[in-house]
Structure 1
Amino acid sequence: LFQTFCNSSHPMAIMLAAVGSLSAFYPDLLKFKEADYELTAIRMIAKIPTIAAMSYKYSIGQPFIYPDNSLDFTENFLRMMFAT
Structure 2
Amino acid sequence: MSGRGLQGIWLPFYFVIDRESGNVIRLIRRESVPDDTPTIIHLLAPCSGRRRHASLYASGRDLIHASHVLDDFDSACLRRRVAR
TM-score, structure 1 normalization: 0.30
Q: Say which structure is richer in strand.
A: 2
Q: Say which structure is richer in helix.
A: 1
